[in-house]
Amino acid sequence: MSFAARPASRSLATRQLDLRPLDASMLDALAAGDRPGLEALTGARFPAPLQPPPLVEDHLDFFRDRLRRPEEPGSWWFWLMVERASGRAVGMLGVPGEPDDRGRVPIGYSVYPDREGRGYASEAVEAVVAWVLDRPGIEAVRATIAPDNAPSLRVAAKAGMRAVATGRVQDVGEVVVVERRAGGREP
């Protein structure tokens, strides 16, 4: 399936957040622990000591590699969640690849632990899912979530995602696959 989309040139906005596109140089600064450099590049304040939100560190090299390949149109959907009132980075989310043969793309999200429970992930995921589903060639957005991760399952539900399958993922274990289809169609 061909997928022709261009990177977001502006932030997406929610009630509390600005969602700012990240690029490889920003992730390089994050990986290097260069807080002043990262703050200069993103315009956001980061917690000290500088580290990625949970789960992002495990995939940081993957995201950086994808962002360095501009010929892969799906590799640019990676956003920083910035609390508008304070300018503080509160998390990250991304859609790291092109649609599969059914037009489905994955989404992942993570919030810094001290920022959890404030609705940031819900707002960000709702905004990005709606934006992604409005792109040509996208039929559905999916996430794989551990069944005991109730907060993440609630975030997905608030974004209109519904369970469509269960399975097992190596190095993760049991997962629930949740999905929201374009046009409000049932999975």
pLDDT in tens, 67-76: 887 665 544 5
> For residue 169, is pLDDT > 60?
yes
pLDDT digits (tens, 9 = 90+) for 47-69: 999 999 998 888 888 888 888 87
pTM greater than 0.75: yes
Instruction: Provide the mean pLDDT of the chain.
Output: 88
For residue 70, the model assigns a pLDDT of 63
pLDDT in tens, 61-119: 888 888 887 665 544 578 999 999 999 999 999 887 778 999 999 999 999 999 999 99
Q: What is the pLDDT of residue 62?
A: 84
The 3-class secondary structure across the chain, one letter per residue, is CCCCCCCCCCCEECCCEEEEECCHHHHHHHHHCCHHHHHHHHCCECCCCCCCCCCHHHHHHHHHHHHCCCCCHHHHEEEEEEECCCCEEEEEEEECCCCCCCCEEECEEEECHHHCCCCHHHHHHHHHHHHHHCCCCCCEEEEEECCCCHHHHHHHHHCCCEEEEEEEECCCEEEEEEEEEHHHCCC
pLDDT the model gives residue 32: 94
